Amino acid sequence: MNDPRINTLATILVQHSLQLKKGDLFIIRSAPTAAPLVTAVYLQAIKAGAHTHVHLGLEGLPELFYKHASPHQLRYVSPLSLYEIKNATAQLSIISEDNTKALTHVDPKKIATVSLAHQHLNRIFLERAAKHQLRWCLTQYPTNAAAQDADMSLGEYEDFLFTAAHATATQPLRYWKAMYTRQEKIRRLLDTKKTFHIIGTDTDLTLSTKGRKWINCYGRENFPDGEVFTGPVETSADGHIRYSFPISHGGREVHDVTLTFQKGKVVKAQASQGEDFLKTMIKMDAGAQRLGEFAFGTNGGITHYTKNTLFDEKIGGTIHLALGSGYPETGSINKSGLHWDMVCDLRKNGSIEADGALIFKNGRFLF
């Protein structure tokens, strides 16, 4: 793809999201499909003085692995991967799948086995990120598969992605820095609250964030971005929530998810499609049955569902609550091989009370 917006996106990722500098050990993870963006980022990283290492995974290899790997191979963790997680100072992952459904028929127990095996690596990753020893970012490259999931042509999806990234703005770096200021008002409000009551369609859920820290996300770890999040107290969730959009994990879609919580733990999980997969993932470990994240989507430039969590959880007027591992920088102590974001749309007939006061109604904060 010979598109000048790619160079602009690369500039935002290198200078704003990752803040690459001389001497960084920088890892790029993607697939050949995203070669134009990988190349643009690589060039700018080299010019910034970073030591850059590229991982390009071939389409179809994960499917072969899950189909033919022995139980020992499923549980194996490469010491090379461990070294990278312990020593990299920056990492960029670019989603660029040719087929987002490639793992649809993989045994979910195998996916759970691999996730559990890599839980230690994921924890090191999160702890180093919380200590600002590792800067990381996840972004999307426009592909036909992603466009099809979003019910768009490739050209429409490119326009959607680059618009959401503000890669067409006159001064895109200034825009993303300004997002921090806009969202600080929300973060400061939420930091003063302890108990939240979420009400919506088939949803009546309470949880606590007492002692936890809210984080302002403005294009660093995810790009494009737009959310404010924390880690709820692990034993606090009570009630039920129905997630508005189909959710996916490892290429598997689950529809019409409703979760019921008691004392922070999922006691009932229902879905109209993919319920067995949902239950298998929740039973992965003890942490998978509890919430690791509670967040508000704040990006008004993303308005509709695309079957891509990177975008969908940022839709302005939505919230998302993730099952599984929490982020240590919020104060979360939930550990799991799972982190599964699920989005609830509150733009119609939705509200949230905090410490008994209405702060959010029909997708908007009341200040």
For residue 357, which of 135, 241, 193, 205 has the smallest C-alpha distance? 193
Strand partners, 230: 294
At 42 the pLDDT is: 98
Can you tell me the distance from the alpha carbon of 34 to that of 53, in angstroms, rounded to the nearest whole number?
A: 15
Can you tell me the distance from the alpha carbon of 367 to that of 365, in angstroms, rounded to the nearest whole number?
A: 6
Q: With cut-offs at 50, 70 and 90, classify the pLDDT of residue 361.
A: very high
Work out the average pLDDT over 232-248. 95
Question: Whole-number mean pLDDT of the chain?
Answer: 95
Minimum mean pLDDT range among 47-51, 104-108, 316-320, 362-366: 104-108
- Chain-centre distance for alpha carbon 152: 22
Q: Is 105 a residue whose pLDDT tops 80?
A: yes
Question: Of all residues in the chain, what percent carry a pLDDT higher than 70?
Answer: 100
pLDDT: which is higher, 22 or 59: 22
Q: With cut-offs at 50, 70 and 90, classify the pLDDT of residue 236.
A: very high
Q: Is 232 a residue whose pLDDT tops 70?
A: yes
Helix, strand and coil percent figures for the chain, each rounded to 5: 35, 30, 35
At 300 the pLDDT is: 87
Q: Is 356 a residue whose pLDDT tops 90?
A: yes
What would the pLDDT profile of 139-163 be if each residue is shown by its tens digit? Answer: 999 999 999 999 999 999 999 999 9
For residue 8, which of 137, 172, 163 has the smallest C-alpha distance? 172
Q: Residue 110: which H helix or E strand, with range?
A: helix 108-117
Contacts for 191 with CB less than 8 Å, ≥ 6 apart: 213, 214
Minimum mean pLDDT range among 75-79, 88-92, 102-106: 102-106
Cis link prior to 224 (omega < 30° from 0)? yes
Q: With cut-offs at 50, 70 and 90, classify the pLDDT of residue 1.
A: low
**Do residues 148 and 101 touch, judged by C-beta distance below 8 A?**
no
Q: Is 49 a residue whose pLDDT tops 80?
A: yes
At 231 the pLDDT is: 98
At 303 the pLDDT is: 84
Can you tell me the distance from the alpha carbon of 133 to that of 88, in angstroms, rounded to the nearest whole number?
A: 9
At 331 the pLDDT is: 96
At 88 the pLDDT is: 98
At 2 the pLDDT is: 75
Written as six digits, the tokens of 340 are 């599964």
Residue 230: exposure state from Cβ atoms within 10 A (0-12, 13-18, ≥19): buried
C-alpha distance across the termini of the chain, in Å: 43
Q: Residues spanned by CATH 3.40.1830.10 within the chain? A: 4-164
Question: Of all residues in the chain, what percent carry a pLDDT higher than 90?
Answer: 91
Can you tell me the distance from the alpha carbon of 262 to that of 267, in angstroms, rounded to the nearest whole number?
A: 7
At 119 the pLDDT is: 93
Work out the average pLDDT over 93-113. 92
At 304 the pLDDT is: 84
Per DSSP bridges, beta strands 238-242 and 203-208 are: antiparallel
Q: How far is CA 357 from CA 76, 193, 354, in A?
A: 50, 10, 5
Output the CATH code of domain 4-164.
3.40.1830.10
At 187 the pLDDT is: 97
Residue 105 DSSP label: T
pTM of the model: 0.89
- Chain-centre distance for alpha carbon 92: 13
At 109 the pLDDT is: 93
Task: Please provide the DSSP assignment of 165-204 as one string.
Answer: TTTTSSSHHHHHHHHHHHHHHHHHHHHT--EEEEEETTEE
Phi-psi region of 319 (alpha: psi -120 to 50; beta: other; left: phi over 0): beta
Written as six digits, the tokens of 347 are 């733009």
